[in-house]
């Protein structure tokens, strides 16, 4: 039904009516550019996955984030400074909605290395192999790894690995410092990267913009 509705509209009509998540997937540039599957069954399964998998993980991530902020006043102060500098608000606009471009300016929001919503994961080898550690693996094995522990490893994050320090994610130029996806595994990596990664950061930023108005 949604696909048929979009086919009857011009691009400008679609944009004027507002673009929802399903519309974005149907008309996605990457889907068209790389010839990715976008039939109704695929879209149904993808949206259902986002709805189910993104509920508990998002609530868990936000809960830990606000707990960390409340227990670190200096971090809260810096977040408020960034919000006021990046997204100035007039008193009359306290309830307005923010667009993706405005939310993308917020860089001081990473924390998932300490408290990933999914604390551990497992993988299954497709064939016999030897890991760099020297361990032999085969298809009937499940390899468990702890994202919670990896976010606290001094060999990966340095001596301050146990500290809640959002600055570690910001470069000297004030932009987001992109760590290799296989180092920061809260959203998995490679072709198995979480479909809701950007959705998660957008939801968090959407919650953050209310901080200056929370008196």
Residue 16: predicted pLDDT: 60
Pick from 11-25, 46-60, 74-88, 100-114: least confident:
11-25
Residue 91: predicted pLDDT: 41
> Which domain range does residue 197 map to?
73-213
The arithmetic mean of pLDDT across residues 120-132, rounded, is 92
In this predicted structure, the answer to whether residue 201 has a pLDDT above a threshold of 50 is: yes
* 145 belongs to a structural domain: yes
pLDDT level of residue 19 (50, 70, 90 thresholds) = low
Residue 134: predicted pLDDT: 94
Secondary structure in 3-state letters for the chain? CHHHHHHCCCHHHHHHCCCCHHHHHHCCHHHHHCCCCCCHHHHHHHHHHHHHHHHHHHHHHHHHHHHHHHCCHHHHHHHHHHHHHHCCCCHHHCCCCCCHHHHCCCCCCCCCCCCCCCCEEEECCCCCEECCCCCEECCCCCEEEEHHHHCCCHHHHCCCCCCCCHHHHECCCCCECCCCCCCCHHHCCHHHCCCCHHHHHHHHHHHHCCHHHCC
For position 176, which CATH number holds? Answer: 1.10.630.10
Q: Structural domain tally of the chain?
A: 1
Q: Which residues contact 163 (CB under 8 A, 6 or more apart)?
A: none
Q: Considering only residues 161 and 89, tell me which one the structure prediction assigns the higher pLDDT.
A: 161
Nearest in space to 119 (alpha carbons), one of 143, 142, 145, 148: 148
Q: Considering only residues 93 and 64, tell me which one the structure prediction assigns the higher pLDDT.
A: 64
Residue 200: predicted pLDDT: 81
* 55 belongs to a structural domain: no
* 52 belongs to a structural domain: no
Q: What are phi and psi of 129, to 5 degrees?
A: -160, 170
Highest mean pLDDT (candidates 100-114, 115-129, 187-201): 115-129
* 67 belongs to a structural domain: no
* 28 belongs to a structural domain: no
Binding-site sequence positions for heme: 194
- What mean pLDDT, rounded, does the chain reach? 76
Please, are residues 195 and 49 in contact by the beta-carbon 8 Å criterion?
yes
Q: What is the pLDDT of residues 27-46, one digit of tens each?
A: 655 455 545 556 777 777 77
In this predicted structure, the answer to whether residue 130 has a pLDDT above a threshold of 70 is: yes
pLDDT level of residue 4 (50, 70, 90 thresholds) = low
Q: Give the pairing of strands 129-130 and 136-137.
A: antiparallel
Nearest in space to 193 (alpha carbons), one of 121, 103, 139, 107: 121
Q: Which residues contact 209 (CB under 8 A, 6 or more apart)?
A: 83, 87, 98, 103, 106
CA angle in degrees (0–180, nearest 5) for 64-70-71: 90
Q: Which residues pair with 121 in a beta bridge?
A: 145
> Which residue shows structure tokens 């809640």?
164
Residue 107: predicted pLDDT: 67
The arithmetic mean of pLDDT across residues 64-80, rounded, is 87
* 23 belongs to a structural domain: no
* 81 belongs to a structural domain: yes
* 137 belongs to a structural domain: yes
How far is C-alpha 109 from the geometric centre of its chain's CA atoms?
A: 10
Binding-site sequence positions: 194
d(CA 157, CA 110): 14
């Amino acid at each position: 039904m949604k696909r048929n509705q979009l086919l009857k509209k011009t691009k400008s009509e679609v944009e004027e009516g507002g673009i929802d998540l399903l519309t974005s997937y149907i008309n996605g540039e990457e889907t068209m550019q790389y010839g990715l599957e976008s039939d109704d069954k695929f879209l149904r399964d993808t949206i259902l996955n986002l709805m189910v998998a993104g509920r508990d993980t998002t609530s868990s991530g936000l809960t830990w984030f606000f707990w960390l902020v409340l227990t670190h006043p200096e971090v809260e102060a810096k977040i408020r400074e960034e919000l006021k500098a990046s997204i100035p608000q007039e008193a009359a606009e306290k309830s307005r909605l923010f667009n993706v471009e405005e939310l993308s300016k917020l860089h001081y929001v990473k924390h998932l290395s300490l408290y990933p919503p999914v604390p551990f994961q497992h993988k299954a080898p497709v064939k016999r192999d030897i890991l760099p550690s020297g361990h032999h693996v085969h298809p009937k094995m499940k390899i468990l790894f702890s994202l919670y522990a990896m976010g606290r490893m001094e060999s990966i994050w340095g001596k301050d690995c146990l500290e809640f320090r959002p600055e570690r994610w910001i470069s000297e130029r004030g932009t987001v410092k992109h760590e290799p996806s296989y180092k920061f595994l809260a959203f998995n990596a490679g072709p198995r990267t979480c479909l809701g990664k950007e959705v998660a950061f957008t939801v968090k930023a959407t919650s953050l913009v209310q901080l200056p108005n929370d008196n």
